[in-house]
Amino acid sequence: MILSLGCTMRYQVMAPTAAFTFNVLINRDSEQEILDERITCVPEASAEFAQTSKGDRVLRVEARTGPFELQYAATVDIRRPDLPPKVAADLPARLPLSILTYTLPSRYCESDRFGPHAWELFGKNEDRAEQVKLICRWVDENVQYAPGTTDGRTSAWDIWQNRKGVCRDYTHLAIALCRALSIPARYVGGYAVGLEPMNFHACFEAYLGGAWRLFDPTDNIAPDRIAVTSRGRDATSAGLSTIFGRVQSFDVKVTCELSRPAIAPATAQSA
C-alpha cells in the first residue's frame, strides 16, 4: 500500500538557541520503502540525521531565536506480511534479551498489576495471535475514546480504572495486557490513514512467531495503512519530538492518505 503523508510543526524559540530531536521521519526497513521524502526547515537551520538502536530515524535541529517551522513530506510503500494462521507461545527462556525486555513493566505499562485480569480474560485461548486480537477487541469495546480526559502522565492502570482515553492510552493498556501474558509488546508511533481528526497515531507491535507484528487497538486500522516513525517500551521512549530550550509550541498539522499511482498511458494495439 502506497501512502502519502507529512506534517508541519511550528514553534517560537524564546532563547538564543533551542535544540530539537524529531522522530517524525519514516523508518526504513523491510516493511517500509521510502519512495520520496522532503524535509524543510524554515528558516534554514543546522540539522543532522541520526539513528537509534531500535532503527528509528531521528532529525536533530538547532534553531535560533524567533519563529521556526519543520515541514516533512514522504511517499512510502508499506508491505507488511500477514499473521500466520496459528502462533504458538514463545518460550521466554529462549527469547533474545533485546526482545525479553518488552515483557517487563514500564512507566506507563504496569503489566505486573494485570496478571490475574489478563489470564482470566484472555488466557483460555492458547493461540498467541488470537490472544492479542482479543485484547485489541476488548480494549476497543471497553474504553471510551474521549480526547481531553487524559494527559501524558496517564498510565495503563489509570485507563483500566477510568475506561476513557485516546490512542496513546488504548495502546498502553493493550501493551500492559500483552506483557501480563508474557507476550513481548512495544509502543509504536507514526502516521495512519483514516484518522478523524487527523493527527499522529499510537499503536503497538507484539512479538509473535519470531517477528514483530503491528496491531491497532483504537481504530482497527489495517497494518499496511500505518507508517512507523518511532518505537519504545511506552510513550516516554517513543516521543515524536523532544525539545531542549525555551520554546513555545503551536498546533501540529498532519496528513496521511492513500496515494493514487499514476495511470500508465494506453498502449496502441496494432491491427
Q: pLDDT, tens digit, for every residue of 49-96?
A: 988 877 789 999 999 999 999 999 999 999 999 888 888 878 888 889
Identify residue 135 by its one-letter amino acid code. Answer: I
pLDDT value at position 10? 97
Counting every residue written for the chain, the total comes to 271
126-149 in b/e burial notation, b at 16+ Cβ within 10 A?
ebbbebbbbbbebbbeebeeeeee
pLDDT exceeds 70 at position 267:
no
From CA 157, how far away is CA 178, in angstroms rounded?
14
- CATH 2.60.40.2250 boundaries in the chain: 2-78+240-258
Phi, psi torsion values for 15, nearest 5 degrees: -95, 170
Report the chain's mean pLDDT, rounded to a whole number: 91
Could you give the 3-state DSSP secondary structure of residue 194? coil
pLDDT value at position 46? 87
pLDDT value at position 140? 95
For 2-78+240-258, CATH number out of 1.10.240.10, 2.70.98.20, 2.60.40.2250, 1.10.10.60 equals 2.60.40.2250
Strands 57-78 and 144-145: unpaired
From CA 22, how far away is CA 63, in angstroms rounded?
13
Q: Which three cell numbers stand for residue 83?
A: 499473521
Q: Which residues share a beta bridge with 69?
A: 10, 42
> Which band of pLDDT confidence, cut at 50, 70 and 90, is reported for residue 271?
very low
From CA 62, how far away is CA 53, in angstroms rounded?
22
Q: What is the pLDDT of residues 198-208, one digit of tens each?
A: 999 999 999 99
State which H helix or E strand residue 65 sits in.
strand 57-78
Q: Where are the alpha helices (DSSP H) in 54-194?
A: 97-100, 115-122, 128-142, 156-162, 167-180
- CATH 3.10.620.30 boundaries in the chain: 92-237
> Which band of pLDDT confidence, cut at 50, 70 and 90, is reported for residue 261?
low
Peptide bond into 43 cis (omega under 30): yes
Q: What percent of the chain has pLDDT above 90?
A: 76
From CA 167, how far away is CA 213, in angstroms rounded?
18
- CATH T-level topology, domain 92-237: C8orf32 fold (3.10.620)
pTM to 2 decimal places: 0.91
From CA 23, how far away is CA 6, in angstroms rounded?
12
Helix axes 167-180, 115-122, angle to 10 degrees: 90
